[in-house]
Amino acid sequence: MTRAAAVVGAGQTVHADRRTDVSVPELAREAARRALEDAGIRARDVDAVVFGSGPESWEGVNRPEGWIGPALGVPGKPILRVHTGGTTGAAATIAAFYHVTSGMFDVVLAVACDKPSERVAGGLPDDEAGAGFTLDTRELAAMQARQYIDRHYPEVREEHGAMVVAKNRGNAAKNPFAQVRTPVAAKDVMASPPVATPLKELDCPPLADGAAALVIADERRARKIASRPAWFAGLGTCSAGAFMPDFDMAYPEPCVRAAQIAYQMAWIYEPLRELDLVEVYDAFSFQELIWTEALGFCNPGEGGKMVEQGITAMDGEFPVNPSGGILSANPGGAGAMLRQLEAALQVMGRAGEHQVPGVKKAMAHSWGGALQFSTVTIFSHRM
């Protein structure tokens, strides 16, 4: 039996191509301060901090854990730096949840920050262990998209990826923190230059400097701090290996398993009916469709229909990424925490212009590595 915990405050920076006005700790502090203000507490009320950021090879920053503490205003409190590829931000939240539910801490601040603009050149690095066996993220996503389309053609076609982009960019127009807020039409996506077939330029995400922060509290403190906390109802984490036999990129097992674990914990049997919306880690357009299927919101191959029929639109039966998703703001490891932040705000009824009416349960998803990391977080308006 696990102690109850909830998100009681949330903050994020604007996600911009490049923030030259602030250093990494200053960027992290922006989000942290907003989260604390949002919760209405002071830094000294925080009992511990979990900090997630990219590896050196991602942003050229040396051991940020050594100097991030003062920026977050928590001298003398425990700070844990975590990293799990693209799921880093979500892992920070989940580790903060463990901190609180262990009974050791009442209020924990989870912060995720990435400033990829500061690495001047170079793609994602080699896997030194694999002697060249690793694909870069874009190649991986392109192959994943091809396998997915080929398996389900003509139910899924290239146009469905373009529809996802059009939908999410449209949603982002209502999100003041998004990086890319200009709407595009599906036909613009189709007409954009190919980068790695079948992915075209507009199927791929931007890259942003940005940070996010969540205040997580135990039951007693959560009730005091927030009138409507976003309670953690289900959590699932799955880390598969790299170089796996029988790995199916078009229906990735780590995602399926993470969802199963979270549904079991949250007593959810019919995700589409029992949840009100989902924020998925749509790093590439087709992935939104793949995750929608792997998370159990429709059958394999029905992802295209979900977007084409407007089911996943902001005003549809089951909104997917009302915030605009990663396709509209991609601040590295902070992106995974943003999914949780947006899902929590929806449950708290404070998502702003992109609030979906009447949300009671919302889910956040993230993936990382060579698709081997997956996290699922379910928030509920009730404990």
Partner 1 sequence: MPGKSGIQSGGSQGVGVEGELSIPYRHAAGRHAERFSREMRDNRRIMGVRCSRCEAVLLPPRPYCGFCFEPATEWVEVADEGELVTFTSVQGDPDAAVFEEPRIRALIMLDGAGVHFPHVLGEVAPDDVSEGMRVKAVWSEDRNGTLSDIKYFRPI
- Point out which residues bind partner 1 (CB under 8 A): 19-26, 29, 33, 36, 42-44, 56-57, 59-62, 69-75, 115, 118-126, 128-139, 142-143, 146-147, 150, 193-199, 241, 243-247, 249
- Shorter beta-carbon distance to partner 1: residue 37 or 353: 37
97 makes contact, choosing from partner 1, a second copy, none, with CB < 5 to 8 Å by partner type, with a second copy
- 69 near a second copy, rule: CB under 8 A: yes
Q: Which amino acid is at 248?
A: D
The binder of a second copy chosen from 20, 120, 123, 128 (CB under 8 A)? 128
Can you read off the two tokens belonging to residue 329?
């703001």
Cα 25 to Cα 196: distance, rounded to the nearest angstrom: 35
Q: How far is the CB of 361 from partner 1 (least distance, A)?
A: 34
- 99 near a second copy, rule: CB under 8 A: yes
The binder of a second copy chosen from 78, 170, 206, 300 (CB under 8 A)? 78
Helix (H, G, I), strand (E, B) or coil at 236: strand
- DSSP-derived pairing of the beta strands 199-200 and 194-196: antiparallel
237 makes contact, choosing from a second copy, partner 1, none, with CB < 5 to 8 Å by partner type, with a second copy
Q: Do you find a cis peptide bond into 300, omega within 30 degrees of 0?
A: no
Beta bridge partners of 380: 231, 361
- 372 near a second copy, rule: CB under 8 A: yes
Beta bridge partners of 51: 81, 111
Q: How far is the CB of 147 from partner 1 (least distance, A)?
A: 5
Q: How many CB atoms lie within 10 A of CB 248?
A: 16
- Shorter beta-carbon distance to partner 1: residue 150 or 353: 150
Beta bridge partners of 362: 277, 379
Q: How far is the CB of 121 from a second copy (least distance, A)?
A: 16
**Token pair 């308006």 in the structure block, residue:** 381
The binder of a second copy chosen from 242, 249, 272, 356 (CB under 8 A)? 242
- 129 near a second copy, rule: CB under 8 A: yes
Q: How far is the CB of 168 from partner 1 (least distance, A)?
A: 21
The DSSP code sequence of 146-162 is HHHHHHHTTTS-HHHHH
- 357 near a second copy, rule: CB under 8 A: no
Cα 148 to Cα 155: distance, rounded to the nearest angstrom: 11
Cα 381 to Cα 360: distance, rounded to the nearest angstrom: 5
Can you read off the two tokens belonging to residue 252?
């990735």
Q: How far is the CB of 151 from partner 1 (least distance, A)?
A: 10
- 253 near a second copy, rule: CB under 8 A: yes
Q: Which of 310, 306, 322 is nearest to 359 (CA)?
A: 322
- 240 near a second copy, rule: CB under 8 A: yes
The dihedral region occupied by 225, where left means phi > 0, alpha psi between -120 and 50, and beta the remainder, is alpha
The binder of a second copy chosen from 33, 45, 77, 188 (CB under 8 A)? 77
The binder of a second copy chosen from 22, 23, 45, 146 (CB under 8 A)? 23
Helix (H) or strand (E) holding 292: helix 285-294
- Shorter beta-carbon distance to a second copy: residue 3 or 273: 3
Can you read off the two tokens belonging to residue 204?
């791929």
- Shorter beta-carbon distance to partner 1: residue 225 or 351: 225
Q: Do you find a cis peptide bond into 25, omega within 30 degrees of 0?
A: no
- 377 near a second copy, rule: CB under 8 A: no
DSSP 17: S
249 makes contact, choosing from a second copy, partner 1, none, with CB < 5 to 8 Å by partner type, with partner 1
| Residues binding a second copy (CB under 8 A) | 1-3, 23-25, 48-49, 55-57, 61-67, 69-70, 74-85, 91, 95, 97-99, 101-104, 125-130, 235, 237-244, 253-254, 257, 369-370, 372-373
